[in-house]
Structure 1
Amino acid sequence: MSTVDYSKYSVEELLDVQSRISSDSPNYPALIAELDARKKEIDEFAVKNKQHEFSIMENRVKIIGYFQLAAAVAILIMFMLLVIDGSASILSSSIAIIAIALNAIAGYTAVKEMHDKYWISFLNQLLQVPSFAIGSVKAAYSGLGGIYLYADWTNEAQFGFSASFAPGFSFLKYTASSPTQYLGVDLIALFFLAALLTVSHAKGTANKLIHPTPNSGAAD
Structure 2
Amino acid sequence: MSTVDYSKYTLDELFDVRANIDKEAHPENYKALLIELDNRKEEVEALTEKKQEEFIFSIENRLKILGWLQLATSLGFAIVCIYSAFGTQTIVNVMICSVLAIFNGLAGYRLLTCKRYGFELSYINQIFQIVTINTGSFFFSYSGLGSFIVGIGNGVFVKFSVLSPGFGFFVGENSGQFSVGIDLVAIFFLIVLNSCNELGLLSKTDHKINSTPGRGEVD
Q: Deviations over 1:9-56 (max 9, x none)?
A: 554443234234443164432221232344354234322211211111
Q: Name the residue aligned to 2:165.
A: 167
Aligned residue runs from structure 1 range 22-171, under 5 A: 22-23=22-23, 24=26, 26-85=28-87, 87-89=89-91, 91-114=92-115, 117-152=118-153, 158-164=155-161, 166-171=164-169
Structure 1: 5+ residue runs without aligned partners?
A: 208-220
Structure 2: 5+ residue runs without aligned partners?
A: 205-219
The CA RMSD over aligned residues, in Å, is 2.8
Q: Say which SS state the counterpart of residue 127 (structure 1) adopts.
A: helix
1:42–1:137 Cα change, 3 Å: same
Q: Quick one: which amino acid aligns to residue 55 of structure 2?
A: E
Q: Quick one: which amino acid aligns to residue 48 of structure 2?
A: A
Q: Say which SS state the counterpart of residue 150 (structure 2) adopts.
A: strand
Q: How far is the alpha carbon of 1:81 from its aligned partner?
A: 0.7
Q: Deviations over 1:124-162 (max 9, x none)?
A: 01101112222323221111242222222xxxx522222
Q: Say which SS state the counterpart of residue 74 (structure 1) adopts.
A: helix
- State the alpha-carbon separation in 1 of the partners of residues 137 and 22 from structure 2: 64
Highest RCO, 1 vs 2 (Cα 8 Å, sep ≥ 6): 1
Q: Say which SS state the counterpart of residue 135 (structure 1) adopts.
A: coil
Count of aligned positions: 199
Q: How far is the alpha carbon of 1:6 from its aligned partner?
A: 4.5
Query: Is the 1:149–1:186 contact (alpha carbons within 8 Å) kept by the matching residues of 2?
Result: yes
1:80–1:44 Cα change, 3 Å: same
* Percent identity for Structure 1 against Structure 2: 33
Q: Name the residue aligned to 2:191.
A: 194
Further displaced range: 138-147 or 157-166: 157-166
Q: Quick one: which amino acid aligns to residue 141 of structure 1?
A: Y
- State the alpha-carbon separation in 2 of the partners of residues 178 and 191 from structure 1: 29
Q: Quick one: which amino acid aligns to residue 82 of structure 2?
A: M
- TM-score, structure 2 length as denominator? 0.76
- State the alpha-carbon separation in 2 of the partners of residues 131 and 70 from structure 1: 21
Aligned residue runs from structure 1 range 1-40, under 5 A: 1-2=1-2, 6=6, 11-23=11-23, 24=26, 26-40=28-42
1:35–1:71 Cα change, 3 Å: same
Q: Quick one: which amino acid aligns to residue 134 of structure 2?
A: A
- State the alpha-carbon separation in 2 of the partners of residues 13 and 133 from structure 1: 53
1:102–1:150 Cα change, 3 Å: same
Q: How far is the alpha carbon of 1:87 from its aligned partner?
A: 2.8
Query: Is the 2:136–2:176 contact (alpha carbons within 8 Å) kept by the matching residues of 1?
Result: no
- TM-score, structure 1 length as denominator? 0.75
